[in-house]
Amino acid sequence: MSVDWKERSQALEQLLKLRSFVFGMKLYESRADMEAIPKIRRPDSVHNLDQLVAQAARLGWTVGVTAENLYGPQCRSVVGLGNAKDAEWRSGEFMVGHWFKTADDAAAHQAAMHCVEDGKYEALAISPLASGRLDPPDIVLFYATPGAMMYFINGLQWSGYKKFDWSVVGESACADSWGRALRTREPSLSIPCFAERRYGGVLDDEMLMALPPDHLDKAVEGMKALARNGFRYPFPQYGIQQDVRAGMGASYA
């Protein structure tokens, strides 16, 4: 059955009042398959993956990358490009004294990261979901405020309730979002790290959600059901000194 990716993107943008594009990621075993995507852009310079993600999320570009387009092993390792996870990468020695005090701390961080397996994929494409050029994407991603993220999670939990447990790896937080979602096929929420904010243009009040595309309809239907019950984003302020009974009676009766 054909999927209207533009309709799904617009529904999410409207319900959550998003300030950037909903976008997708797709891994390719063949570089040629990635390069065959219509209007694909290939970087002329070396970037980190946060910059390329921002080009899709902020500029609406469709971007294709291979290992040589990415700076260093950390970006390559998370998406499984270039056989980056060698002994030097696992040691984390390049982060000692910068992000972690000891070699043991750095190695523990590397071991904690969610990463796609090496050796299976040659290329990655990132594109706004509405373009339909990744049909289907492996995962869908969007940036939103904490309040919008909670509303989206409430939508996911409207029916077939599930408790979500997420972790925070710290630096290299892309492992918490697209790394985890690509690897586990589960919704994955992250607090974007220094590199995502410095190089990827992520705003101070933004979080990142990554999830398989088949979860989108479930979340949107859940949010629409909540809206019918009077729960909509952004959440209206009730007042910190008001008598709470009228409000609580309407929301939690």
Q: In what order do the strands lie in the sheet with 23-28?
A: 63-65, 123-128, 23-28, 139-144, 207-211, 188-190
Query: Residue 206 domain-assigned?
Result: yes
Per-residue pLDDT tens digits for 63-118: 999 999 999 899 999 999 999 999 999 999 999 999 999 999 999 999 999 999 99
Is 43 in a helix, a strand, or coil? coil
What pLDDT does residue 107 have?
Answer: 98
Q: Report residue 226's pLDDT band, with 50, 70 and 90 as the boundaries.
A: very high
Q: Kindly report, residue by residue over 124-150, the tens digit of the pLDDT.
A: 999 999 999 999 999 999 999 999 999
Backbone angles phi, psi at 39, to 5 degrees: 60, 30
The answer to whether residue 242 is domain-embedded is no
Q: Is the torsion defined by CA of 129, 152, 168, 237 positive or negative?
A: positive
What is the average pLDDT value for the chain, to the nearest integer? Answer: 96
pLDDT at 2: 75
SS3 124: strand
36, 57 in Cβ contact below 8 A? no
Yes or no: say if 138 and 23 are a contact pair by the CB < 8 Å rule: no
Tokens found for residue 96? 């000692």
- Return the residue matching tokens 């617009």: 10
Query: In terms of residue numbers, what domain contains 15?
Result: 5-229
Question: By percentage, how much of the chain surpasses pLDDT 90?
Answer: 97
Query: Tens of pLDDT along 172-221?
Result: 999 999 999 999 999 999 999 999 999 999 999 999 999 999 999 999 99
> Would 58 be classed as within a structural domain?
yes
Q: What angle do the packed helices 216-228 and 5-16 form, to 10 degrees?
A: 40
Q: What pLDDT, on a 0 to 100 scale, did the predictor assign at position 1? A: 58
| Position 142 in a domain | yes
Q: What is the pLDDT of residue 23?
A: 98
Decide if 239 is inside a domain. Answer: no
Condensed to tens digits (0 to 9), the pLDDT of residues 41-73 reads 999 999 999 999 999 999 999 999 999 999 989
Number of domains in the chain: 1
User: Is 250 part of any domain?
Assistant: no
Residue 42 is assigned to a structural domain of this protein: yes
